[in-house]
Chains A and B, each alone.
Chain A
Amino acid sequence: MTMKDHTSQSEINDEMRAIEAEARARVDDGGAPELHPRRNYPPYRSSILRHPTHELVRVDPEEVELFSPAFGHTDVNVLESDLTIQHRGEPLGERMTVSGRVLDGEGRPVRRQLIEIWQANAGGRYVHKRDQHPAPLDPNFTGVGRVITGENGEYSFTTIKPGPYPWRNHLNAWRPAHIHFSLFGTAFTQRLITQMYFPGDPLFALDPIYQSITDPAARARLVGTYDHDLSVPEWSLGYNWDIVLTGPKATWMESEEAHD
Chain B
Amino acid sequence: MTEPKPTEFIQTPSQTVGPFYGFALPYERGPELVPGRHPHAIRLHGTVTDGAGDPVPDAILELWQADETGAISREQGALDRDGFTFTGFGRAAVDQAGHFTFTTVKPGSVGGGAPYIVVTVFARGLIHHLFTRAYFPEDAEAHRRDAVLGAVPPARRATLVCVADGHPGGTPSYRFDVRLQGADETVFLDFDA
Contacts and interface: CB of A to CB of B under 8 A. Distances in A.
Contact of A118 (B24, B122, B127, B187): B24
A197 to B, nearest CB: 9
Contacts of B1: none
Interface in B153-193: 156, 180-181, 185-193
B126 A49 contact: no
Interface string A158-196: 000000000000000000001010100000110111110
Interface in A42-85: 44, 46-54, 56-65, 67-76
B25 A130 contact: no
B39 interface: no
A107 interface: yes
B148 A39 contact: no
Nearest to B5: A259
For the complex, would chain A's binding face be called helix, strand, loop or mixed by DSSP majority?
Answer: loop
A58 to B, nearest CB: 3
A114 B54 CA distance: 33
Given A47-B126, A50-B125, A193 B64 contact: no
Given A74-B80, A105-B9, A182-B25, A51 B20 contact: no
A221 B19 contact: no
A218 B15 contact: no
Q: By CB atoms of chain B within 10 A, which of A35, A50, A74 has the most?
A: A50
Contacts of B11: 35-36, 105, 244-246
B179 to A, nearest CB: 9
B29 to A, nearest CB: 13
A74 B24 contact: no
A2 B51 CA distance: 15
Contacts of A51: 125-127, 180-181
A166 to B, nearest CB: 13
Interface stretch (A9-17, A22-30, A88-96, A121-129): A121-129
Interface of B: 4, 6, 8-25, 50-52, 54, 56-57, 62, 64-66, 72-80, 87-89, 107, 110-111, 113, 116, 118, 120, 122-131, 147-148, 151-152, 156, 180-181, 185-193
Given A107-B4, A180-B15, 16 more contacts: A37-B14, A51-B127, A52-B188, A56-B188, A56-B190, A59-B193, A62-B147, A63-B111, A70-B73, A71-B78, A73-B76, A74-B80, A189-B192, A193-B14, A194-B12, A221-B10
